[in-house]
Amino acid sequence: MHHHFFVGPLTNREALRRIKKGGTAGVDKVTASDYVIDLDQNLYNLHQRLCRGQYVATPVKRIWIEKENGKQRPIGIPAFEDKIVQKAVEMILSAIYESNFYDFSHGFRSGHSQHMAIKELRENCIRNNTNWIVSADITGLFDNIDHEHLRDFLKLRVNDGGIIRLIGKWLKAGVMEEGNYYRSDSGTPQGGLCKALHNPPYAK
């Protein structure tokens, strides 16, 4: 089944309520506190730009954080307004794809967490008398996501050119790091809400 949907003002307002208000500002230096000063007007202007196709995705601000093994991991910080629209789209896509999730899939789902995954893993190990656990990861997964492949997956369920174009804008927005701009031909910055689109159930 294909789905059409519309990112309206009420959806954006609910998205604003759900996203974290603190943290580092994006490249536009606009914080949550700045945005809510004239909230109604800002949301109205955002809605108008979305309706007219004039919404422009801002490059993501890249910072680096240290991992436990001493290496560094890049984190992308979207502009605050981009966070609102991305969260609105995530809310709608989650409603469409929720039925596709496996019971043991806890990533990027409302009401789920890594602690639930660990608890389930521990209980299954005890129940099945498991002696070995293999931990595997895909090197550079989010850095090498094929944009066209991701959009093709989404089109299997989402027959809405507007939302596909929005996602394309975020994927192609590029990255700013220490004043330098880098194009995004593949991958997506970790830390942005667009990352949630790459969870396996979206690919069904």
Per-residue confidence at 195, pLDDT binned at 50, 70, 90?
low
What is the biggest distance separating any 2 CA atoms in the chain, rounded to whole angstroms?
59
163-166: long-range contacts at Cβ-Cβ below 8 A with a sequence spacing of 24 or more?
163/5, 163/7, 163/89, 163/92, 165/53, 166/7, 166/55, 166/57, 166/85, 166/89
Instruction: Give tens-digit pLDDT for 156-189.
Output: 888 888 888 999 999 889 999 988 998 888 878 7
Q: How far apart are CA 127 and CA 176, in angstroms?
A: 48
Q: Which residue has the tokens 């369920």?
A: 157
The mean of the pLDDT values for the chain is: 83
Nearest to 187 by CA among 53, 58, 24, 60: 60
At residue 94, does pLDDT exceed 60? yes
Q: How far apart are CA 112 and CA 196, in angstroms?
A: 13
For the whole prediction, is pTM greater than 0.85?
no
Q: What's the pLDDT at 59?
A: 93
Amino acid at residue number 177: E
Return the structure tokens found at 170: 């975020």
At residue 64, does pLDDT exceed 60? yes
Q: What's the pLDDT at 6?
A: 52
In 27-52, which positions are buried (b, 16+ CB within 10 angstroms) versus exposed (e)? beeeebeebeeeeeebbeebbeebee
